Amino acid sequence: MLYQLYETQRSLMEPFTDLAQAAAKAYGNPLSIAGKNPFAQRISAGYDLMHRLGKDYEKPEFGLRTIDVDGVNVAIHERVEISKPFCELLRFKRFTDDTVTLGKIKNQPAVLIVAPLSGHYATLLRDTVKTMLKDHKVYITDWKNARLVPLSEGEFHLDDYVNYVQEFIRHVQGKYGNCHVMSVCQPTVPVLAAVSLMASRGETTPLSMTMMGGPIDARKSPTAVNNLAMNKSHSWFENNVIYRVPSSFAGAGRRVYPGFLQHTGFVAMNPSNHAKSHYDYFKDLIKGDDASTEAHRKFYDEYNAVLDMDADYYLETIKVVFQEFQLVNGTWDVKSVNGKMERVRPEDIKTTALMSVEGELDDISGSGQTQAVHDICSGVPKAMQKHFEAKGAGHYGIFSGRRWRELVYPEVKAFIKACNKVAAENGAAPSSVAPQPAVAKKVKAVNVAPQQAEPAHLKPVEVEVAAMASPAAETAQMEALQETPVAAIEPAAATLPEAVAPEKQSKTAAARKNSARTATKTVATKRISGKK
């Protein structure tokens, strides 16, 4: 009933907000009769603010048309790779006719960014995607508004979220041999579950996972968000925040946690800050400060655009993550696509490097909540793990804005490049080259044996990841990685002189290939045994 009342009120207000917008333009035009009023600028600012406070905010677009790659403009084409009932997998494909730039971007790592399904659209990560596109092939999960999904598409549970992530990982792996996964906020939990299940089954897992500001262990440094979820009962949430979608939408009748209630909760966390922001916007309009007013519009166009979440998914997330802590307690069972219940065992992850990122001033995911991932992923060697705290950064600062670009991104970039380089050097499929049958088979053999105490290709990662312990070392590491291209699938064959006859090329390639493999095995054996 509340949802229907809200929609009725919004429909009644819509003509007035449109009228306010028209009045703002009329008084803001100095050539119009209204614009000649001595108080025209103030009246226009008041109407503009009224329009923005009352308007309906639709889903924004990413709007990424081009990016700059080392001074070259590269075109971006956004396309849907996989369409599921509740989510689309988007790819931002890059195009350029500059041969040098094309060679660079072809060998860059593939990264799957899993966007949060917690009220806002995936476009909240626009700055994340834009920055990552300079050095990576980028995919992102674009979650759909549940009120637009017909009931005929069925229900959506937290288990379905986990299964979606696994399908998307396999899709990207199928294109490049393997990939890296980055999860921001809420999806850190289902992403860890997805990779854990893949590892338990013996599937090829991503080369790395980057966990950013997520509630892996919500018991640590609980915030206002955590306290609300932990102090209210499951039945309270079901009775007070779950409503059915009105008949005016495609998903009529679906039980959801409405976006307008979520937005109310967002604003209620810092009401004075939002009030001050709107008042500053009003003053900037009067002063004619176009830069500040445009920045305000862009932020609130994104912040005020919210989506409905399916009730089953939302309630299960509250229960699993914030009330029973099933992930860290080792009691979480996920229903797979074939209907089988599988226990989530993060300790089964052996060959995926792990990085956690937290903001020093994060008021949504408290200090230590994300870092807890290192404790439960006990199967990942310590040398393949890294934690980074962004000084002075809040929750949004770790994936958007200046601190993301200047503090967090260089760390993430170096970590991904190090993992990708090591995979290429040791024969595993890097995340930038289309897999060959032999390579795919080799990678599968490595990952199928999780019982192996320390696979040969893990040791070099210790050197690469441990080298990032200090800023100076990281800078040297990044420079070295930039100077060294990603190794080809058959590096020996790539070094043959052009003058060698075809039959000699074949024999020479085979000899060098066997020699390279022997050398690699010898080095790996020495590293594992501790000999120099």
What's the pLDDT score for residue 510?
46
What's the pLDDT score for residue 422?
85
What's the pLDDT score for residue 435?
61
Average pLDDT, the chain: 84
pLDDT at 112 over 70: yes
| Region class of 71: left (phi > 0), else alpha (psi between -120 and 50), else beta | left
- Say whether pTM exceeds 0.85: no
- Give residue 526's pLDDT band: very low, low, confident or very high (50, 70, 90): very low
- Give residue 433's pLDDT band: very low, low, confident or very high (50, 70, 90): low
Neighbour tally for 443: CB within 10 Å: 23
- Give residue 478's pLDDT band: very low, low, confident or very high (50, 70, 90): very low
pLDDT at 272 over 50: yes
Whether residue 159 contacts residue 335, with contact meaning beta carbons closer than 8 Å, is answered with yes
What are the residues whose beta carbons fall under 8 Å from the beta carbon of 332, sequence distance 6 or more?
193, 320, 326, 343, 344
Mean pLDDT of 263-282: 90
Whether residue 67 contacts residue 92, with contact meaning beta carbons closer than 8 Å, is answered with no
What are the residues whose beta carbons fall under 8 Å from the beta carbon of 177, sequence distance 6 or more?
428, 429, 430, 431, 433, 434, 435, 439, 440, 443
pLDDT at 507 over 50: no
Strands 110-114 and 137-143: parallel
Span 172-212, pLDDT tens digits: 999 999 999 999 999 999 999 999 999 999 999 999 999 99
What's the pLDDT score for residue 444?
36
pLDDT at 436 over 70: no
pLDDT at 473 over 50: no
What's the pLDDT score for residue 531?
41
Angle between helix 271-287 and helix 259-269 axes, rounded to 10 deg = 90
CA distances from 197 to 162, 334, 337 (A): 9, 9, 12
pLDDT at 500 over 50: no
Q: Which amino acid is at 490?
A: E
Whether residue 54 contacts residue 9, with contact meaning beta carbons closer than 8 Å, is answered with no
Helices (H) and strands (E) in the chain, counts: 21, 14
pLDDT at 249 over 80: yes
pLDDT at 290 over 60: yes
pLDDT at 496 over 90: no
Low-confidence winner among 294-303, 345-354, 452-461 (lowest mean pLDDT): 452-461
DSSP 443-499: HHHHHH-TT-SS-TTTHHHHHHHHGGGSHHHHHHHHHHHHHSPPPPSSHHHHT--TT
What's the pLDDT score for residue 425?
79
The β-bridge partners of 77 are 93
Q: What sign has the CA pseudo-torsion 191, 195, 201, 204? A: positive
- Give residue 508's pLDDT band: very low, low, confident or very high (50, 70, 90): very low
What's the pLDDT score for residue 432?
74
pLDDT at 465 over 50: no
CA-CA distance, 140 to 410, in Å (whole number)?
Answer: 20
Low-confidence winner among 167-171, 247-251, 384-388, 420-424 (lowest mean pLDDT): 420-424
Span 13-61, pLDDT tens digits: 999 999 999 999 999 999 999 989 999 999 999 999 999 999 999 999 9
CA-CA distance, 260 to 8, in Å (whole number)?
Answer: 13
Mean pLDDT of 508-518: 46
- Give residue 446's pLDDT band: very low, low, confident or very high (50, 70, 90): very low
Q: Which amino acid is at 202?
A: G
325 vs 463, higher pLDDT: 325
pLDDT at 530 over 80: no
CA-CA distance, 369 to 217, in Å (whole number)?
Answer: 5
129 vs 454, higher pLDDT: 129
CA-CA distance, 209 to 206, in Å (whole number)?
Answer: 7
pLDDT at 268 over 80: yes
